[in-house]
Chains A and B, each alone.
Chain A
Amino acid sequence: MDYLSKLENQSIYIMREAFNKFENLAMLWSIGKDSTVLLWLARKAFLGHVPFPLVHVDTSYKIPSMIEYRDKLVKDWNLQLVVGQNKEVLDEGRTYPNGKATRVECCGMLKKDGLKAVLDKHNYTGVIVGVRRDEDPTRAKERYFSPRDKNMEWNVADQPPELWDQFKTDYEKGTHIRIHPLLHWTELNVWEYIERENITVSPLYYANEKGERYRSLGCYPCTFPVKSNASNVAEIIQELRTTKISERSGRAQDKESEDAFEKLRRDGYM
């Protein structure tokens, strides 16, 4: 079996385990390439169906064409969408760059707190998230089934063992489990799979006439395009096979301090 098929089959197995084991399961959808591939894999796992709601934590700072793309996919694929938003901090104008918050604090309020509110409201006990180990050193330490405590915090110093596809599916009331079916994929694998399966992703990933494209999508005040002439999937794959620039290089919030991203993730960020 070729390695893309191996990655695919493993992800399907993980998603089916999650669906079987969690009464109240949802999938986070950030509209980016990874969560779109994740959505595709869900349809593979459940034979064309997506038997759980998709949660989009809307920061209100998403690039407008991302929201257009989201709404089109929801319609075309007949998806159940739940949108969460931290209206309070937005109304009070506390967010970056106009409010007092730093980039990292803003991420914490809009994404982490926004997520917590949605989880609490709907009592989700299992949340599928499209993070990958190769994105960042803290994500490299993740489990496929990763517990979060009552305050949504990640106890990274004491993670459950994970072997032979036996996952942590027993958990205390009030806690929840993050499920990461794409953990073992790389950025390159994701694009190779997009090519193989002919999956439509947001056009922001393709180089524009200014010779720029997004490698990672986020909020517009903190996400910047990289220099690139890769204007289609095949060219992106070629670029990734030779590049030495990291994927999240265009994400400014990671760089505020040495452990900025780790702190965010310990507190419950995706």
Chain B
Amino acid sequence: MKGLSAPSEQLKIVIVGHVDHGKSTFVGRLFNDTGSLPDGKLDQLKKIAETRGVPFEWANLMDGLQAERDQNITIDTAQIWFSTKKRQYVIIDAPGHKEFLKNMVTGAANAEAALLLIDANEGIQENSRRHGYLLNLLGIRQIAVLVNKMDLVNYSQERFDEIEKEYREFLTTVGVTPKVFIPISAYHGQNIATKSDKMPWWNGSTVVDILDQFEVTDRPLNQPLRFPIQDVYRFDERRILAGRVEAGSIKVGDKLLFAPSNKVSTVKTIERWSAPQSDSAQAGESIGITLTEQIFVERGAVAALETAPPYELTKFKARLFWLGRAPFKKGRPYKLKLGTQEVECHIDDIEKIIDASTLETIHREGKELAIGRHEVAELTLRTKRPVAFDAHSEIIPTGRFVIVDGFDVSGGGIIAADNYPRRTSDSLHKSGNIFWSDGKVTPQQRAVRNGHSGYVVWLTGLSGSGKSTISVDLERELFNLGKHTYILDGDNIRHGLNKDLGFSPEDRKENIRRIGEVAKLVADAGAICITAFISPYREDRELVRQLVPAGQFIEVFVNAPLEVCEQRDPKGLYSKARAGEIKEFTGISAPYEAPEKAELEVRTDELTVQECVAKIVEYLDLRDSDSQVSI
């Protein structure tokens, strides 16, 4: 009943069980017996039944669709609210028909506790078991079993005991410990809100008593921080990383490690709008943060404290349930969504396929190897890029994922604990290349496959300005982000392709032209080609720009004043040039024509290498989102 004071908390409870075991009837009765029905609702339902010439059903309260009332069956999950003195409840009615399992999962995944109904007359059925199994996979630990329709078995204690014994045994094997079993008759309102007068042998609680004994589950605060980045906002000059704290807490001054790229920065501010000022945020809060040091971070990164990072791997073990119409097949790519990460994945190995209604192992061989609709499996998944994750038993939000087949979420899974290595090593980056293309492949198709377009990133600047240093760090960074990238190195080119060329003005020009041609091919193949050559002449650079399709040539002016470059002099070339040992040295005895319309300039005397790299990566990222190929 609605009290006058505000209830302090809200609990979400799902009602599950086999079809026709009385779930919707139970909900209707619960509402009636707790005085929660709106005025006139009961009369309206009775009138509808009369007009339609069918007997009155409590279930009609929840079955809001015409098709549901016509067939007397719940098709989709629904939610309805009521309050006790203790708190507000959200009651989630889930369908019991196997056909609508995805709707049951939708309802149950949002609940904190479950009431599982079993028909005393029919006993334990297929979906009584399957739902029990799924509740555990969905992470619901608070469960009460209601043995319903006791009126049909003459309120027999013996029958109740029999069902309790059998079902308890089943639940134990799947790792579920129910809080209590209660004998009820939903239709007759026995043991719902008041103690049954038909079952004097029952000394336990009513359903309403038990509801109030369940606990609201808050996200645990004492776990390691997990802050998955949902988006990056640039509404003004600041870059705000938006997301929800999924585990632990975060505060200004925390040094964060961003997985899976392994970059580090410190929390400068915590951003909220129209909310009390606070320098920290806890699990469950949707916030924004800014960083003291600008690094390139995008959606999908997971911020953690350096001391307790998530795993970052391309392979993990999982338990999965499949809801898709088409089976989950080995040898085919699918999309995996874990938190805000999205990555292509495929089945590496299936250990076991299980019928969740019998717990029997299903045997399938060779070509047949696939997980069918409503089946459960233990398997190993492999992803195209490293994924930041935790074992489900350790941190729930980063320990579970869904699989998307085409346009549809088709399965869900939880990550099993295992002996995973803590850091990504290069050996784990091997991509099992199971992808093929036949016939004509367009640049757009390559871009969609790779998740980015091909580019030529042309670094130009004085000797010692930092081109090579930036190029290798940039390549590593792009590679870590899962992008295809390659550096064209000056010496390597001169050893092979250009070994017939010397250093005459014609040869220098031809050198740049050939490099340009090769860079163009690499970009056309879909990769991000990085070049690091002084390339002092505007005309030469312009020539290369013309070779490459519009928008794919990114000229980056790596800029540091001559004095700074000369002071750095990493190869001792400036002193040699000053001593006259090298003739026509760019900047000393030969001109350097600075770019007039470079896409980007990085001042290496003002920014760190990491900041320069971040600037270039961000530019590429924006370019990609403009051309809409970004995944």
A residues adjacent to B (C-beta < 8 A): 1-3, 5-6, 9, 12-13, 16-17, 19-20, 23, 43-49, 51, 133-134, 136-138, 140-141, 143, 156-157, 159-164, 166, 168, 170-172, 184, 186, 192, 197, 238, 241-242, 244-246, 258-259, 262
Contact partner of A23 (CB less than 8 A), chosen from B103, B402, B628, is B628
Task: Point out the residues of chain B lying under 8 angstroms from A48, CB to CB.
Answer: 235, 273-274
Contact partner of B240 (CB less than 8 A), chosen from A47, A164, A259, is A47
Q: A6-B10, A13-B244, A168-B409 are in contact. Are A161 and B66 (CB under 8 A)?
A: no
Instruction: Give, as a whole number of angstroms, the nearest-CB distance from A146 to chain B.
Output: 11
Top 10 nearest A-B pairs (CB, nearest first) are: A137-B64, A163-B109, A12-B286, A161-B102, A140-B78, A244-B39, A3-B10, A166-B402, A170-B407, A259-B66
Instruction: Give, as a whole number of angstroms, the nearest-CB distance from B402 to chain A.
Output: 4
A-B contact pairs, 25 of them (CB 8 A): A5-B285, A9-B285, A16-B230, A46-B233, A47-B288, A48-B235, A51-B235, A133-B80, A140-B79, A141-B76, A156-B65, A157-B75, A161-B106, A161-B409, A162-B409, A163-B105, A163-B110, A164-B400, A164-B412, A168-B407, A184-B90, A238-B4, A245-B38, A262-B64, A262-B66
Could you tell me the distance between the alpha carbons of A157 and B103 in the complex, rounded to whole angstroms? Answer: 10
Instruction: Give, as a whole number of angstroms, the nearest-CB distance from A48 to chain B.
Output: 5
Instruction: Give, as a whole number of angstroms, the nearest-CB distance from B113 to chain A.
Output: 15
Contact partner of B76 (CB less than 8 A), chosen from A156, A164, A170, is A156
B491 on interface, CB distance cutoff 8 Å:
no
Task: Point out the residues of chain A lying under 8 angstroms from B402, CB to CB.
Answer: 163-164, 166
B37 on interface, CB distance cutoff 8 Å:
yes
- B residues 32-81 touching A (CB-CB < 8 Å): 37-39, 41, 48, 51, 62-67, 75-81
Q: Are B64 and A136 interface neighbours, CB within 8 A?
A: yes
Could you tell me the distance between the alpha carbons of A167 and B282 in the complex, rounded to whole angstroms? Answer: 24
B352 on interface, CB distance cutoff 8 Å:
no
Task: Point out the residues of chain A lying under 8 angstroms from B90, CB to CB.
Answer: 184
Q: Given known contacts A3-B8, A138-B65, what 7 new A-B pairs fall within 8 Å (CB)?
A: A5-B284, A47-B235, A161-B409, A163-B138, A168-B407, A241-B3, A241-B6
Task: Point out the residues of chain B lying under 8 angstroms from A5, CB to CB.
Answer: 284-285
Task: Point out the residues of chain A lying under 8 angstroms from B286, CB to CB.
Answer: 9, 12-13, 16, 44-45
Task: Point out the residues of chain A lying under 8 angstroms from B412, CB to CB.
Answer: 161, 163-164, 166
Could you tell me the distance between the alpha carbons of A156 and B64 in the complex, rounded to whole angstroms? Answer: 11
Could you tell me the distance between the alpha carbons of A186 and B62 in the complex, rounded to whole angstroms? Answer: 16
Could you tell me the distance between the alpha carbons of A224 and B90 in the complex, rounded to whole angstroms? Answer: 29
Q: A161-B102, A164-B412, A241-B3 are in contact. Are A141 and B109 (CB under 8 A)?
A: no
Q: A137-B64, A157-B75 are in contact. Are A166 and B273 (CB under 8 A)?
A: no
| Per-residue interface assignment for chain B, residues 161 to 202, with 1 indicating a CB less than 8 Å from any chain A CB and 0 otherwise | 000000000000000000000000000000000000000000
Task: Point out the residues of chain A lying under 8 angstroms from B88, CB to CB.
Answer: 3
B408 on interface, CB distance cutoff 8 Å:
yes
Instruction: Give, as a whole number of angstroms, the nearest-CB distance from A178 to chain B.
Output: 15
Task: Point out the residues of chain B lying under 8 angstroms from A157, CB to CB.
Answer: 65, 67, 75-76
B2 on interface, CB distance cutoff 8 Å:
yes
Instruction: Give, as a whole number of angstroms, the nearest-CB distance from A90 to chain B.
Output: 31
Q: Are B284 and A9 interface neighbours, CB within 8 A?
A: yes
Task: Point out the residues of chain A lying under 8 angstroms from B288, CB to CB.
Answer: 47
B612 on interface, CB distance cutoff 8 Å:
no
Number of chain B residues close to chain A: CB under 8 A? 68
B406 on interface, CB distance cutoff 8 Å:
yes
Q: Are B272 and A134 interface neighbours, CB within 8 A?
A: no
Task: Point out the residues of chain B lying under 8 angstroms from A262, CB to CB.
Answer: 64-66
Task: Point out the residues of chain A lying under 8 angstroms from B110, CB to CB.
Answer: 163
Q: Are B408 and A141 interface neighbours, CB within 8 A?
A: no
Contact partner of B2 (CB less than 8 A), chosen from A44, A166, A242, is A242
Q: Are A161 and B240 interface neighbours, CB within 8 A?
A: no
Could you tell me the distance between the alpha carbons of A59 and B231 in the complex, rounded to whole angstroms? Answer: 36
Q: Are B408 and A170 interface neighbours, CB within 8 A?
A: yes
Could you tell me the distance between the alpha carbons of A168 and B102 in the complex, rounded to whole angstroms? Answer: 13
Q: Are A163 and B77 interface neighbours, CB within 8 A?
A: no
Could you tell me the distance between the alpha carbons of A168 and B81 in the complex, rounded to whole angstroms? Answer: 25
Q: Are B79 and A133 interface neighbours, CB within 8 A?
A: yes
Q: Are B407 and A172 interface neighbours, CB within 8 A?
A: yes
Could you tell me the distance between the alpha carbons of A184 and B285 in the complex, rounded to whole angstroms? Answer: 17
- B residues 482-534 touching A (CB-CB < 8 Å): none
Contact partner of A161 (CB less than 8 A), chosen from B4, B38, B105, B275, is B105
Task: Point out the residues of chain B lying under 8 angstroms from A143, CB to CB.
Answer: 106
Q: Are B235 and A141 interface neighbours, CB within 8 A?
A: no
Nearest residue (CB) in B for A171 is: B407
B596 on interface, CB distance cutoff 8 Å:
no
Could you tell me the distance between the alpha carbons of A5 and B285 in the complex, rounded to whole angstroms? Answer: 8
Task: Point out the residues of chain A lying under 8 angstroms from B275, CB to CB.
Answer: 44
Contact partner of A44 (CB less than 8 A), chosen from B76, B244, B274, B409, is B274
Task: Point out the residues of chain B lying under 8 angstroms from A259, CB to CB.
Answer: 66
Q: Are B407 and A241 interface neighbours, CB within 8 A?
A: no
Q: Are A141 and B64 interface neighbours, CB within 8 A?
A: yes
Could you tell me the distance between the alpha carbons of A157 and B288 in the complex, rounded to whole angstroms? Answer: 38
Nearest residue (CB) in B for A186 is: B81
Could you tell me the distance between the alpha carbons of A44 and B273 in the complex, rounded to whole angstroms? Answer: 5
Could you tell me the distance between the alpha carbons of A136 and B80 in the complex, rounded to whole angstroms? Answer: 10
Could you tell me the distance between the alpha carbons of A140 and B9 in the complex, rounded to whole angstroms? Answer: 21
Task: Point out the residues of chain A lying under 8 angstroms from B240, CB to CB.
Answer: 47
Could you tell me the distance between the alpha carbons of A241 and B7 in the complex, rounded to whole angstroms? Answer: 10
Instruction: Give, as a whole number of angstroms, the nearest-CB distance from B376 to chain A.
Output: 15
Q: Are A246 and B38 interface neighbours, CB within 8 A?
A: yes
Could you tell me the distance between the alpha carbons of A20 and B286 in the complex, rounded to whole angstroms? Answer: 15
Could you tell me the distance between the alpha carbons of A244 and B62 in the complex, rounded to whole angstroms? Answer: 17
Instruction: Give, as a whole number of angstroms, the nearest-CB distance from A56 to chain B.
Output: 23
Q: Are A258 and B230 interface neighbours, CB within 8 A?
A: no
B611 on interface, CB distance cutoff 8 Å:
no
Contact partner of A160 (CB less than 8 A), chosen from B3, B409, B628, is B409
Q: A163-B402, A172-B407 are in contact. Are A19 and B78 (CB under 8 A)?
A: no
Q: Are A1 and B78 interface neighbours, CB within 8 A?
A: no
- B residues 95-112 touching A (CB-CB < 8 Å): 102-103, 105-106, 109-110
